[in-house]
Structure 1
Amino acid sequence: MKRKRLVVALITLLLMFTALFVYRYANYRNNIYYYDTQVDYDYEFKESNLIILDYLDNSVTIPEDIGEGFTAFLKVTVQATFKGKWSTPSVEISNGDKSVLEYFEDGAKGFRYLNISNLLTEGETRLNFSANSLRINNQDAELIYFKNEPLDDKRILVIGTHPDDAEIAAYGIYSQYSNVFVLNIKSGESGPFKYDEVYTDSILHYRKKGQLRTWNSISVPLLGGVHHDSILNFAYYSNLEKMYKKKSQEFPATFTKATDINVYRKQNFSFLKDSITGSSNWEDMVKNLQIIVSHVKPDVIVTPYPALDAHKEHQYTTIALMEALKADSISEGELYLYSNHYIINEHYPYGNSGGTMPLPPNFSNAIYFKRIYSHPLGLNRQKDKLFALEAMHDLRPDTEWRFGEQALRKAFQTAKTEMFNGDNSYFKRALRSNELFFVVPIADIYDADVVEKLITEIPDPAW
């Protein structure tokens, strides 16, 4: 009788644990995917090349005239298996000893665009596919491809709103080419009260945070080989949206209430530091952007895509840039637009670090671009990018891990997040085998309809 009761109790506990796991996992799914994962991705490629290929027996052959120097996507229909509804499905795509791994949403079904850019070689390319928790049946597949513009001889301006934005989006680009300028707009003093174990005074805390992050933004590009004169932080400390709405008004620091714009700006050591003038207002920020653009004379400007990046300050960074370009009637060159906080889903890209940065979920044909550029990151450059992110104080664990009982609580919270909410850190989302950019000619920003598309947030899917 006792044994029977024990068995019943164990079975009851097992059922309760299973029910709890299913409930928490369902919440996890709802917290990650704000859309139906069984709906087709929908992109309109107006100026791309497109051919139909036979996807047969888990392989496809790419024509010999589409090789290195192209960005290419293979549009196929996928369907997650039963296991793939509960664990992240993926496909490994290989070409000889080269391979990439692309991840999908749990339960993915419908059209998806596989990023095969890193695998293209001179001559005919045969790609083999090995799916995990996913089915890709024999079908006609669309190959969409764009000719890349070589960047070796281009002047490149990389703009990040906050310290770490340039690294997350474009460390691979700025660490590879010699003629690069890295500009940050803000000091980064705002955000969570992260170092409360060290500072009880919030003013002192945020002042130190701004100092550290400004220094990070100036020093980390040195790891990528950027010349010290080609690194600058404007060190604005107030809210960019407020500055935009009252363009001539001077705003104090949001958290420290400082009014001296040089409180963080004085940390710059580029010879251009004395060219940056004015106070904490929108009009002066636009003028300072004009100064940098005039100095760099960029062929390529890497900057956030306002309609695709959910962070308001990222949006207003590029709005300010467009004002500066128009003020000087600049129309040559291209914008390489990125999103560090994808508007539909902050967890994009899915899966583990090292996987590809694929085309993001999109269902409305609302994304404006002339072409797409996938910049490859080899394994060594991915490792370098890892340490560049590690050098950013705001991306590290906060200071509670240094204190016994708090460290234990932090470890428990981390394990809980891994089990039920998923790791959403930049070390998982940004460390990929490529960086992805939507390319728009600067000349297009003189078209009011185009600007409307660039700055109007794409609609949330109404599923």
Structure 2
Amino acid sequence: MPKRRDHHLPLAPDITCPALINSDGKLVLQPPGRPSDDSGAEHSLKHGSEHGPEHGPEHSPVHSNGISATVPSCAEEVANHTWMLEIVYRAKGRWKLPGVATVENGKERFTQYFESNETGTRLLNLTGVGSLTDIVLAPVNCTVESQATLHGFRRPNLEDGPILIIAPHPDDAELAAYGLYSRHPKQTWIVTLTAGERLKRLDKQYLPGLDATLEEGSRRKGLIRAWNSATTPLLAGVPAEQLIMLGYFNDTLPKLLETPDDTVPSYGDPALTPRDFRAWNNFSLPSDATAENRGADLIEDLSTILSKVKPTTVLVTHPEIDPHPDHVASAKALAKAMSHSSHVPEHVLLYANHLKGARGFPNGPAHAAAGVWPTSQRTSQMPSWGLHSESLSLEAQKGKALSLDSMHDLRGKKSLERQLKCWLRRKKSALESGAWKDYADHDFFQTHIKAHENFVVINGKRFLAGVSH
């Protein structure tokens, strides 16, 4: 029997209305009710209890930002929102991969996959469809309850000024946001905090046997990854002068924030300095003269970038969802830099490239739809989460695959044991073998080449107050 597990996020939709999925799978929107009295109330998407009865979502309208509850009908208005359909699904079988295909005008747009051997509430990503009233939902290896709720989130205006992407390591910006920044290349700045130089084992070198010591291998790894960060975004048209490598050291960011005046050596090679990885920068940093791995320098560099670029939108890792220590520290470092620079962006988009206990998410093969993170988080230090889902065309997804292939750190080969486990999972998934795209061995070529890139949207001041708390 499938295990009941509902997902929860502290979301504040702009539009919420009840919906039905009829016997033919057609989505039928119901007339929304009148605006609630508490128009500023946050809506935590509460979908029953982990131990409670299995029932459909509650259908009370939500108007958290005072926007009309009328669901847009014209294509332009549909395109101006991120759309999530709150559904309850039940997987068929222990191993079969369940999902829901979204079909528009008789053509499958994308399929979103869920967890095997589970039942519960999920958010089905409908972002990218041309019409909300001309779609049919087709379950795959699962059943879906007829009652549903549609949630709409007004899209932030990404055209209103510079976009600054904070990447803890080379490849984080591409994994999270290649589709987004390839749509806005001329206004995008990408700042990579660390060179990702740490090499833990010599047999993990890109070229086996090239270096005889971990120190040599780490230096070379940092060099090629710094070069990746300076060149890969050029594929999308981001100007070279808007790509900045700070060159701080991998796995040291939490310590830099704890003891900002101390110099912390690289775990890969104590003789390294951040200057070793800044050769391709066209942007002068305050710490260029000394270039020590110190927290105070990191904050000053970021503060200077904020003051000069003055981004209206900043992308950074979500400190409550992405558990990687460097990723959590990156969000905290950004908040400190915002306080020092006195520049607060209008909105912050939060992404997560790592999830605790959820390997293989977003689920399913490459080019599937991407859902929001599989968590049961009811509260946050940063209230009133919005959602922004960037819809990627097939061509944009292929461009993203190329960008990931250019990243040397994603070129590892699976061991024989992992190859066998992967083959077995795919066999048991009950999907056709042709559904899986083996562009490369790394899991990210399945999980992150998807039809959507998803972000939590937070007002800049709320981000600063919440992360600085």
Fold agreement, TM-score > 0.5: yes
Alignment CA distance shift 1:376-1:173 (3 Å)? same
Give the superposition deviation at 1:274: 7.5
Q: Alpha-carbon deviation of 1:369?
A: 4.3
Cα deviations by residue, 1:314-353 (Å, 9 ceiling, x for unpaired): 1101101100101122334111000000235233211111
The residue identity in structure 2 corresponding to 1:328 is: S
Structure 2 counterpart SS, 1:67: helix
2:82 corresponds to which residue?
71
> How many residue pairs align between the two structures?
399
Asked if 1:340 is matched to 2:353, the reply is yes
User: Would you say the 8 A contact 1:370–1:440 is kept in 2?
Assistant: yes
Quick one: which amino acid aligns to residue 156 of structure 1? I
| Distance of 2:281 and 2:274 partners within structure 1 | 16
Structure 1 spans left out of the alignment, 5+ residues:
1-35, 399-409, 454-463
Identity across the alignment (%):
25
Partner of 2:226: 214
Residues 1:203 and 2:225 are matched in the alignment = no
2:243 equivalent in structure 1: 231
Match of 1:391 in 2: 406
CA distance in 1, matches of 2:352, 2:452: 14
1:264 to 258, 274, 277: 277
Preserved contact between residue 225 and residue 407 of structure 2 (Cα < 8 Å): yes
In structure 2, do the counterparts of structure 1 residues 224 and 247 end up closer, same or farther at CA, with 3 Å as the change threshold? same
TM-score (normalised: structure 1) = 0.81
Q: Which protein is bigger by CA-based radius of gyration?
A: 1
| Comparing 329-338 and 100-109, the one that deviates more | 329-338
| 1:127 counterpart = 2:135 | yes
- Establish whether residue 307 from structure 1 lines up as the match of residue 274 from structure 2: no
One-letter identity of the residue aligned with 2:15: N
Cα shift at 1:276: 4.5
Give the conservation status (yes or no) of the 8 Å contact 2:102–2:111.
Answer: yes
Task: Note the 1:35-434 alignment, pairs <5 A.
Answer: 37-57=3-23, 58-61=25-28, 63-65=71-73, 67-82=78-93, 85-96=94-105, 97=107, 99-121=109-131, 125-137=133-145, 139-177=146-184, 178-193=186-201, 194-195=204-205, 196-237=208-249, 239-265=252-278, 267-272=279-284, 276=288, 278-367=291-380, 368-397=383-412, 412-419=416-423, 425-434=443-452
Residue 87 of structure 1 aligns to a residue whose secondary structure is coil
> Which one-letter code corresponds to 2:129 in the other structure?
L
TM-score, structure 2 as length reference:
0.80
Determine if contact 1:61/1:127 at 8 Å carries over to the other structure.
Answer: no
Amino acid at match of 1:236: Y
Q: Does 1:435 align with 2:453?
A: yes
Q: After the TM superposition, which segments of 4 or more aligned residues of structure 1 sit over 4 Å from their partners?
A: 273-278, 420-424
Contact 1:354 1:431 survives alignment (8 Å): yes
Separation of aligned partners in 2, 1:91 and 1:452: 39
Task: For residues 4-36 of structure 1, give each alpha carbon's deviation from its aligned partner in whole angstroms, at most 9, with x where no partner exists.
Answer: xxxxxxxxxxxxxxxxxxxxxxxxxxxxxxxx8
Q: After alignment, is 65-74 or 158-167 more displaced?
A: 65-74
| Cα RMSD after superposing both structures | 2.2
Q: Secondary structure at the match of 1:184?
A: strand
Task: Point out the structure with the larger helix share.
Answer: 1
DSSP-derived class of the 1:285 partner: helix
Per-residue CA deviation, residues 159-182 of structure 1 (Å, 9 max, x unaligned), is 111000010001111111121101
Q: Distance in 1 between matches of 2:272 and 2:287?
A: 20
Question: 1:346-398: per-residue Cα shift (whole Å, max 9, x none)?
Answer: 33211111111201122231354431000111000100000100000000026
Contact 1:43 1:364 in 2 (8 A): yes
Q: 2-side partners of 1:344 and 1:366: how far apart?
A: 20
**Aligned-partner residue type, residue 190 of structure 2:** V
Report SS of the residue matched to 1:41: coil
Query: Hey, what's the Cα distance between the residues in 1 that align with 2:312 and 2:390?
Result: 17
Greater CA drift, 315-324 or 363-372: 363-372
CA deviation profile, 1:12-61 (whole Å, cap 9, x unmatched): xxxxxxxxxxxxxxxxxxxxxxxx85212223433432100121121103
